[in-house]
Every structure is written in C-alpha cells, then in structure tokens.
Amino acid sequence: MTRVVLITGCDEGIGRRAARAFADADWTVYATGLDEGALNPLEDDGCETAVLDVTDVDAGSVVDDVVKEAGRLDCLVNNAGVGHVGAVEETEAEDVAELFEVNVVGMHRLTKAALPHLRDSEIGRVVNLSSVVGRYPLPGMAAYTASKFAVEGWTEALRGELEPFGVDAILVEPGVVGTGFVDDLFSELEDRADEGGRYADLYRMLNYWLPDLADLGGDADETAETIVRAASAPKPRERYPVGMQGRALVLGGHLPPWARDAGWRVARDVSRVFGK
C-alpha cells in the first residue's frame, strides 16, 4: 500500500523540494502551506495540496481531512518555520512569542493531531526540521537559535514517549541552506547593520560569513532527499545532519567540550570586539 505523508511549509524552499522528493519516491503527498498560489504547481508534480496555518488553533483538523481522504497517515514532516535576526537587547518579547508560535507550538499542534493515526501505521514517523543552530548557538540570532534548541529537546522527549508504540521521532539538521528563507535573513541582517547601533558590526559580521556557510550547508534538494530517507529507512537514525557544515558541527558533539566549543569561543570574542 502506498505510504502517505503530510508536510508543512511547502510554499517554497525545503518543504517544496521535500514534497516533490516524496512524490518521486511514490508516496502519496499532502503538501501544505500558507499560500495557495505557491502550492498549486505541486499538484502538477502529483501532490495533493491544502492551505494550512500552523498557528491556527484548528490546524490539526487538516490531519483528520487527510486521513479521511487517504485512509491512513504514515509520516508527518514538521517543516514550517520562520526566522529572526536580532540581538537579545534589540528583540521584542512579542517577536519571540510569534517565532515560538510557528516553530514550536505549531509543530506541537500538528503532531498531537497526527499521533493517533501514526500509531496505526506500520512505520509511523514524525520528522522535525531542526538546524545546526539547534545544537550550537549563534550570536545575533538568539530567538531563532532558542526555538531550534526547543525543537531538539521536544523531539528527544517525544522519542521516548513514542518508543513503546513503534513510532519514530526524527531530527533532520541542515546547515545554512541557500533558500528564500535564508535570503530573507541576509536581507534583514543588512538592514539592521545599516540602521547602526551597538550591534551593527555583529550584524555585518554575520552577513559576511553566513553566505559562505550556506555553501557548506547542503542545498534544499539534499535536505529534501535526507527527509525522505529518514521517513523511509527501516530503522531510522535519531538525527540526520545535512551538508558538510551540518555533519561537521554535529560530529563535533562527540569531541571533548573544550574542542567542541573552541569555534564558538572565537565567535563570541569577535562579537565582543565588534560590539564595543
């Protein structure tokens, strides 16, 4: 029987590529997102589409609609997310709340709705999109970093809860992937640097280095293929780092603490110099 996957955040970037990759792998794909017009081309690739806002308190009803139509649900991919640039001192509490509402609370809404159906599947997978910054904090992006740390911890706890039911909770951890999402971050960094202020040099430094990191972070297609691999593996791993950057940073987690933290100590020292 054809496996069924529901993916959030398919308007562009990784979500869009993942929908196509699942379709190419002969899954029945339900691709969701905010923009109906952006989703329509995925129907030509064999995907079913639906408008979904993960911040809507009734977002879980889309899961029930999928199961009613397809008869089953085998995998949920929580890909929808938003970014944020700004030093803590220059970030409003409302911005942090909005970020967590999408990146963490929205993930919870969809997962809660999907779990009763995933327990009925022979494979049962929840695949959550994290990031290398979910393991290693990045100055100037504290709110976004914190949301990805939350995704990591939430998924680890969920994994323990679901083990008795044969449902897997999996993390995919790309580096800085060159998509429209990241282009927006670059643009915001440039705007904040141009505004001046105490942290302007920190934003300039980030805007200078992040494009180079994107070259090492793996691309959207590689990330999409990794998501499909995680969803399809008979015995999936707990984590799937993506790209040279992702693999290098995640492997660093097995190094002694002094070696693992060396690069970030340098980043912090540089930010102190620029932040004076």
What pLDDT, in 10s, does the model give residues 65-104? 999 999 999 999 999 999 888 999 999 999 999 999 999 9
Which CA distances in Å does 25 have to 4, 41, 42, 52, 61? 11, 18, 15, 24, 26
Q: pLDDT digits over 100-116, tens only?
A: 999 999 999 999 999 99
From 164, 175, 177, 133, select the one nearest 151 (Cα to Cα): 133
| Partner residues linked to 37 by β-bridges | none
**Tokens 């691999």, residue?**
229
Q: pLDDT digits over 128-176, tens only?
A: 999 888 887 888 889 999 999 999 999 999 999 999 999 999 999 987 6
Residue 144 is a catalytic residue: yes
Q: What is the C-alpha to C-alpha distance for residues 136 and 249, in angstroms, rounded to an integer?
A: 8
The CA-based dihedral angle spanning residues 68, 233, 12, 7, taken in that order and rounded to the nearest 10 degrees: 20
Q: Is the pTM of this model over 0.95?
A: no
Runs of H (alpha helix) within the chain: 13-24, 36-43, 61-70, 93-100, 106-118, 142-162, 180-195, 200-216, 220-232, 243-251, 257-260, 262-275
Q: How confident is the model at residue 177 (pLDDT cuts 50, 70, 90)?
A: low
Per-residue pLDDT at 192: 80
Q: 121: which residues sit within 8 A by CB, 6+ positions away?
A: 3, 72, 73, 74, 75, 167
Q: What is the C-alpha to C-alpha distance for residues 78 and 73, in angstroms, rounded to an integer?
A: 14
Per-residue pLDDT at 247: 58
Per-residue pLDDT at 214: 56
Q: pLDDT digits over 226-269, tens only?
A: 999 999 999 999 999 886 555 555 555 444 444 444 444 544 44
Per-residue pLDDT at 135: 84
Q: pLDDT digits over 181-195, tens only?
A: 666 777 777 778 888
The residues spanned by each domain of the chain are 4-178+217-254
Does the pLDDT of residue 275 top 60, yes or no?
no
Per-residue pLDDT at 266: 43
Q: What is the C-alpha to C-alpha distance for residues 95 and 213, in angstroms, rounded to an integer?
A: 26
Domain 4-178+217-254, CATH = 3.40.50.720
Q: pLDDT digits over 204-232, tens only?
A: 887 776 666 655 545 788 999 999 999 99
Q: What is the C-alpha to C-alpha distance for residues 256 and 50, in angstroms, rounded to an integer?
A: 46
Catalytic position from the list 30, 136, 144, 203: 144
Per-residue pLDDT at 262: 44
Three-state DSSP state, 46 = coil
